[in-house]
């Protein structure tokens, strides 16, 4: 049963690595692979030696025929023991590398390359020590050294795991945005679960597989892999713990992957909908037709006002003003649609956060002069951006937030622009005090031509355009909303470090 559970864990890790294709998922795959190597070696060793209790046989082999087949495998104990040592020694290395990959502690990031290289020291030394010829050369005639080496080897393993989990926990605590915290929680729980499974079996020294000094292990209180001392209830609990940790780790790895998969799937859906020419042409023609019909009505009113005796100049001026507003609105919608469908070229350069905020607010005031925007800058790090395109995207979010608050009847419509550093991202957040976005609309608001506003004046291309601009900056666009409490759009841009040399 144990080997089947481990294969499930490995398959989950492989799925995560193929889906996400990033360094962290590869480290998770390495952890699962090391667990499988270590425990597979232990299972084959127990099958070869025999002498196990019935509960232990059920946990390890499930079927007696499997134990018999493993027993007949022509694998020398020296190679089998070293295989277990490889999995046992490399697992903490992958955990620590995963922690170094995720942490954004400035001291660690400054010395990241050095720390990565130093982390190989103890695993490499352990693999040299556990190599059977080297092990016998070191221990023969020096039995006093055996307990020392057992404690040292297990000690650095515990140290690596403790440091890695501490770094990841600090990283989890440092996240403030719910979306980031939720994503990283899956990673943390997955690592903790797989590490707990590893420690259930890594406390035993792999050299005992080919080491005949069993009395020294007994004196140290380290039971052998075939120890019958564990009662029936103990084997049951061990099996349940193994299944629990594998299931928990696999679930959290899949959830971690699902977030990225959902983004990719939504991108494909949005692109497919945008490429549906019939829908686009229909909405375009409908919007133009409505505005042209309104213009025709105003033109008739203007003609009547001018043909009257005497001419009704006040009515004529009112009609002319309305015609001008309709014309300007149509031009804005044309520009919006054109910006969205054309292939824009962007030019990225380091832009201070304050400059981005100022440009976006100036654009907003160009449309809504005199309306206040609360700006909060909690970082001075620059972003790599095309100032024109990105400030326009932020302005679009500010306008949407203000219009939502006005439409909700707020006495004081309020929009807030916050720019802050969030670990590996620079986050531009636009918040409003509008009605929020209902759950049934959250999955559609980024669709092209979707709008809840008057289609005479809005064709629903704004958020689709914002999403395209953010993606062209290698960023992500997130929505956090509670109905009745306003909405918050998060533009997540990768950290730009001018000190880093490519």
Q: Are 468 and 491 in contact (CB under 8 A)?
A: no
Q: How does pLDDT run along the chain (502 residues), one tens digit per residue?
A: 566 666 766 676 677 667 666 677 788 788 888 888 888 888 888 777 765 555 566 566 666 666 677 667 777 888 888 999 999 999 999 999 989 988 878 888 888 899 999 999 999 999 999 999 998 888 887 777 888 888 899 999 999 999 999 998 988 888 776 766 777 777 787 788 778 878 877 888 888 887 755 566 666 666 566 554 455 555 556 556 656 655 665 555 555 544 444 454 445 444 545 454 444 455 556 566 666 777 777 778 878 888 888 888 888 888 888 888 777 777 766 666 665 555 456 778 899 999 999 999 998 888 888 888 999 998 888 998 888 889 988 988 998 889 888 888 888 888 999 999 887 789 999 999 888 887 777 666 766 555 555 444 443 446 777 888 888 888 888 888 877 788 889 998 988 766 554 4
Of 360, 356, 490, the closest CA to residue 429 belongs to 490
CA count, 13 A, side-chain hemisphere, 236: 3
CATH class of the structural domain 349-502: alpha beta
Strand partners, 430: 417, 489
Alpha carbon distances (Å) from 379 to 353, 374, 471: 7, 16, 22
322: left (phi over 0), alpha (psi -120 to 50) or beta: alpha
Q: Are 436 and 481 in contact (CB under 8 A)?
A: yes
d(CA 97, CA 31): 10
Strand partners, 481: 487
d(CA 324, CA 176): 47
What is the model's pTM?
0.62
Domain ranges of the chain: 2-236, 279-342, 349-502
């Amino acid at each position: 049963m144990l080997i089947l559970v481990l294969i499930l864990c490995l398959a989950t890790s492989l799925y995560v690595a193929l889906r996400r294709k990033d360094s962290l998922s590869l480290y998770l795959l390495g952890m699962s692979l090391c667990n499988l190597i270590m425990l597979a070696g232990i299972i084959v060793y127990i099958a070869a030696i025999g002498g196990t209790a019935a509960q232990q046989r059920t946990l390890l082999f499930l079927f007696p025929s499997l134990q018999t087949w493993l027993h007949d495998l022509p694998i020398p104990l020296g190679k089998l023991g070293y295989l277990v040592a490889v999995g046992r020694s490399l697992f903490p290395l992958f955990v620590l590398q995963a922690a170094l990959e995720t942490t954004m502690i400035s001291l660690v990031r400054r010395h990241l390359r050095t720390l990565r290289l130093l982390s190989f020291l103890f695993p490499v030394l352990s693999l040299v020590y556990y190599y059977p010829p080297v092990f016998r050369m070191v221990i023969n005639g020096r039995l006093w050294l055996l307990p020392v080496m057992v404690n040292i080897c297990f000690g650095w393993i515990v140290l690596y795991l403790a440091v890695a989990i501490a770094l990841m926990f600090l990283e989890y605590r440092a996240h403030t945005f719910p979306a980031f915290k939720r994503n990283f929680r899956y990673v943390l729980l997955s690592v903790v679960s797989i590490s707990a499974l590893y420690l259930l079996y890594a406390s035993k020294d792999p050299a005992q597989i080919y080491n005949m000094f069993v009395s020294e292990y007994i004196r140290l209180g380290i039971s052998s892999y075939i120890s019958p001392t564990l009662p029936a209830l103990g084997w049951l609990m061990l099996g349940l713990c193994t299944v629990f940790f594998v299931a928990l780790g696999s679930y959290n790895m899949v959830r971690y992957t699902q977030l990225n998969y959902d983004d990719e799937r939504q991108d494909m859906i949005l692109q497919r909908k945008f490429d549906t020419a019939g829908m686009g042409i229909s909405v375009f023609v409908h919007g133009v037709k409505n505005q042209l019909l309104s213009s025709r009505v105003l033109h008739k009113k203007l003609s009547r006002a001018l043909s009257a005796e005497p001419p009704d100049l006040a009515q004529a001026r009112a009609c002319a003003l309305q015609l001008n507003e309709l014309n300007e609105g149509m031009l804005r919608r044309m520009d919006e649609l054109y910006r969205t469908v054309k292939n824009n070229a962007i030019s990225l350069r380091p832009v201070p956060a304050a400059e981005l905020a100022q440009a976006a607010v100036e654009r907003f005031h160009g449309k809504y002069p005199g309306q206040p925007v609360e700006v909060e800058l909690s970082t001075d790090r620059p972003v790599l951006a095309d100032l024109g395109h990105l400030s326009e995207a932020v302005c679009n979010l500010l306008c949407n937030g203000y219009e939502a608050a006005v439409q909700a009847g707020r006495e004081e419509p309020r929009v807030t622009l916050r720019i802050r550093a969030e670990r590996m991202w620079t986050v531009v957040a636009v918040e409003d005090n509008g009605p929020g976005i209902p759950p049934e609309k959250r999955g559609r608001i980024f669709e092209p031509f979707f709008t809840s506003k008057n289609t005479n004046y809005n064709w629903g291309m704004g958020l689709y355009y914002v999403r395209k601009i953010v993606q062209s900056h290698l960023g992500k666009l997130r929505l956090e909303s509670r109905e009745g409490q306003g909405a918050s759009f998060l533009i997540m841009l990768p950290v730009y470090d001018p000190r880093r040399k490519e």
